[in-house]
Structure 1
Amino acid sequence: MTLQTDATPGTARLIASDIDGTLLRTGSTASPAVRQAVNAVLGAGHRFVLATGRSLIGAVPVGVDLGLDDVWIVASNGAITAHLLSHSYQIVEQHDVDAELAMRVALGQSPALLIAAEIPGAGWRVNNPFPTGALNGPQYARPLSEFVANATPRIAFHGPDAHRIVPALLAYGFTAIATRLDWVDVTAPGISKATALEKVRETLGVASHNTMAMGDGPNDVEMIQWAADGVAMGHADPFVIGVADRRTGSLDEDGAASALWSLLS
């Protein structure tokens, strides 16, 4: 069902949504209920932004599958902002991380970590193979010297107790998020989904009080706090729910669809 456009420029909302754990389960596609709700808010004249920890190569197919066009994608936890139009994308902004320093700090704490450096739109450079499906896009085994020689918006560290390297990385000013005990994403200082979304909001001319963001993980906290209407998924960790303005249903309950429909009631 598509609603007629009824949002004027002054009332149009910017709706930012995480992907994995919010719109869909990793490895699956969005449910019919979520697809219908996304279509409805777009039909009502609102702006929809995918804001994800996925690399760009992993985020774009989700936008295409949802039938999104002329939309913005905030990928790599805010390190990349892209515009998706007619199934093609253009990178609008990219913030690169100091790969040499990040690796030196991390390996000083845990020398056996697997390391991946994102190649925007193409895949990842890896020092050793990551588990199948762990990274969005192909892996290219390369020496660490190539990690340093080529710009990258994000470094991922994987291994038992990888989360223990976070304090050292934070001490050097990096943005470091332990999405799991064995996984840490590192981006440039001061970068988050929220910082990227604020620039998208300004570009689109949407009022700050007309923003909504929904997510379920630690990398969603800043954008949930940034939004005037911050929504946590029902299955989110308690600390994520604690920073939200409201809580919707879980992924199994199509909570994202319920939150989107609430904007149209």
Structure 2
Amino acid sequence: MSEQPTHAIRFLLSDMDGTLLLPDHSLSQATIAAVRALREQGVLFSLATGRPPKAMLQQIEALGVDLPTAAFNGGTLVNPDGSILMAHYLPVHAALTALSLFVDQPGVETWVFSGGDWLVKDPHGPMVPREQRGLGYPPVVVESFEPYLERIDKIVATSANTELLIELEARLHPLVDGQAQVSRSQPIYLDVTAMKANKGEALATLAEFLNVPLEHTAAMGDGGNDPAMFHRAGFSIAMGQAEDTVKRQADVVTGANTEDGAAQAIERYILRR
């Protein structure tokens, strides 16, 4: 681990929820100003999130992001004009395995993201209002997920029972080993995506696209899906409220998202002085 980048950072890839965003999903003025300062100094900046592409548009505009972004934990790379640069779909067998495990679990809601739509069977689930506030649009109610199996971007098991999600994560890993990525993007969300749908692959792909060597990249995040990019980046930053397992995999730990930790990290570690 290094307390300072050993190479000048030319590209920063940042998580959104729990990193750039406050708990109410807003951006602080300090964060907006820090990203603006990055761009003014010529440091490239983009976003990597578990969100679908259309749930990133407001933040992309507010931050002035003009590079491809990574949605669905890196499963879909989206050009600034909204066209798809690359997409990785969950294999059908892995999708069926995950759905079979999650079904009928007490206190667990199962969601599917496909073609930009958020699909649910129960629109009255207790976790739905929170997700709708975060995404900015309502779910599509379906009777079955079967018609969407060939083009699933992400499956989410969500619950207020975080211990149960940890247990489900451990149970699902060996069942889809080599077929899918399983990670908790937040304590209450367990995400299942394609093998190449991870933020580490997204960072490497975007760095190559931008012609930036990996040693000149930085990654910043707070969730269980963020260490994948920590391990590929030249320098990695964990948020102060992240779980210890996430913090241990980063080079440095900044303040919490409620303390403008992202802005602190940008100013301390990345802006050229």
TM value normalised by structure 2: 0.83
Number of residue equivalences:
251
SS of the residue 1:243 aligns to: coil
What is the letter of the counterpart of residue 97 of structure 1? Answer: L
What is the letter of the counterpart of residue 209 of structure 1? Answer: E
Q: Which residue, out of 84, 90, 96, partners 2:89?
A: 96
Paired residues of 2:76 and 2:197 also in contact (CA < 8 A): no
Q: Distance in 2 between matches of 1:181 and 1:215?
A: 14
C-alpha displacement at 1:252, in angstroms?
2.5
Does residue 35 of structure 2 align to residue 38 of structure 1? yes
Match of 1:72 in 2: 68
Q: Distance in 1 between matches of 2:165 and 2:255?
A: 31
Q: What is the aligned-residue RMSD (CA, Å)?
A: 2.3
What is the letter of the counterpart of residue 64 of structure 1? Answer: E
Paired residues of 1:96 and 1:188 also in contact (CA < 8 A): yes
The correspondence of residues 52-131 of structure 1 with structure 2, limited to 5 A, is 52-68=49-65, 70-84=66-80, 88-99=81-92, 101-108=94-101, 110-112=103-105, 113-121=108-116, 123-129=117-123, 130=125, 131=128
Paired residues of 1:117 and 1:147 also in contact (CA < 8 A): no
Q: Distance in 2 between matches of 1:109 and 1:202?
A: 37
Gaps of 5+ in 2: 1-6
Query: Cα deviations across residues 27-54 of structure 1 (Å, max 9, x unaligned)?
Result: 3321111111100111111110101111
Query: Cα deviations across residues 43-83 of structure 1 (Å, max 9, x unaligned)?
Result: 11111010111121212221112232x22211111111112
SS of the residue 2:266 aligns to: helix
Match of 1:48 in 2: 45
Q: Distance in 1 between matches of 2:186 and 2:167?
A: 11
Paired residues of 1:97 and 1:188 also in contact (CA < 8 A): yes
Q: Distance in 1 between matches of 2:12 and 2:253?
A: 16
Cα distance, 1:27–1:105 mapped onto 2, change above 3 Å: same
Q: Distance in 1 between matches of 2:149 and 2:240?
A: 43
Match of 2:4 in 1: none
Cα distance, 1:12–1:221 mapped onto 2, change above 3 Å: closer
C-alpha displacement at 1:142, in angstroms?
1.2
The correspondence of residues 218-257 of structure 1 with structure 2, limited to 5 A, is 218-257=224-263
What is the letter of the counterpart of residue 155 of structure 2? Answer: I
Paired residues of 2:91 and 2:150 also in contact (CA < 8 A): no
Q: Which structure has more RCO (C-alpha within 8 Å, separation ≥ 6)?
A: 2
Cα distance, 1:249–1:162 mapped onto 2, change above 3 Å: closer
Query: Greater shift after overlay, 33-42 or 181-190?
Result: 181-190
TM value normalised by structure 1: 0.85
Query: Cα deviations across residues 199-230 of structure 1 (Å, max 9, x unaligned)?
Result: 11001100111100111111111111211110
Q: Distance in 2 between matches of 1:167 and 1:257?
A: 34
Does residue 169 of structure 2 align to residue 166 of structure 1? yes
Query: Greater shift after overlay, 33-42 or 134-143?
Result: 134-143
Match of 1:3 in 2: none
